[in-house]
Amino acid sequence: MGLLARTRGVVAAIREDIDSAMERDVALRSRADAVLNAPGLHAVWSYRVAHAMWEGGGSLRTPARLLSTITRSVTGVEIHPGATIGRRCYIDHGMGVVIGETAVIGDDVLLYHGATLGGRDNDAGQRHPTIGDRVLVGAGARILGRVTVGDDARIGANAVVVRDVPAGATAVGVSAKILKP
């Protein structure tokens, strides 16, 4: 793929992220407001650069982690560059969000401030959650360990999820109870 094609792809992805932010965050007044003042958007963009570096392996992994650390300092959002994040992920407010190294996030996911996609052990391999498409994760929610949250699920604010959540279900409480749609 040539440089022009890659550049067009990056520009299209940035536009898509801005559109997603505008659709989901009623506080944003304009596209310029989103670009300048949405720390969750900045964190995702920085993650995408760090992730590309991480995927390059070897000597690029340390700079990828450094970029992630700088981004956390600036935005309050910590995304490990090894995580996998789909298209149009939006982090509203952002502060305190943590996404672990082996987390997998689908497309069109909305994360509110303070959400954690974390691990429960130090075993090798997958140790963080897998989040499906069109999932909403409420403020302060904790999704911990090798759990799967199905497509179109909703995780309530401050819920602590330690087991799978089926597609379309809602999980609320500590330890989260699953409410069927």
Given 42, 51, 93, 113, which residue is catalytic? 113
**DSSP three-state, residue 179:** strand
Distance CA 10, CA 12 (A): 5
- Asked about 80 being catalytic, the answer comes back as no
Residue 3's pLDDT is 78
In contact, 73 and 93? CB cutoff 8 Å: no
Distance CA 132, CA 3 (A): 32
CB count within 10 Å of CB 134 equals 18
Average pLDDT over residues 75-83: 98
Give residue for tokens 């302060």.
140
The token pair that represents 100 in the structure block = 């672990």
The token pair that represents 15 in the structure block = 């536009």
Work out the end-to-end distance of the chain between its first and last CA atoms, rounded to an integer number of angstroms.
44
The token pair that represents 78 in the structure block = 């910590």
Residue 112 banded pLDDT, cuts 50, 70, 90: very high
Is the pLDDT at 36 greater than 90, yes or no? Answer: yes
Average pLDDT over residues 175-180: 90
Provide the residue ranges of all domains of the chain, joining segments of one domain with +. 3-179
The token pair that represents 174 in the structure block = 């500590």
Instruction: Give the CATH superfamily of 3-179.
Output: Hexapeptide repeat proteins (2.160.10.10)
Does the reported pTM lie above 0.75? Answer: yes
Query: What digits encode the pLDDT tens for the residues 90-110?
Result: 999 989 999 999 999 999 999
Residue 6 banded pLDDT, cuts 50, 70, 90: confident
Residue 122's pLDDT is 86
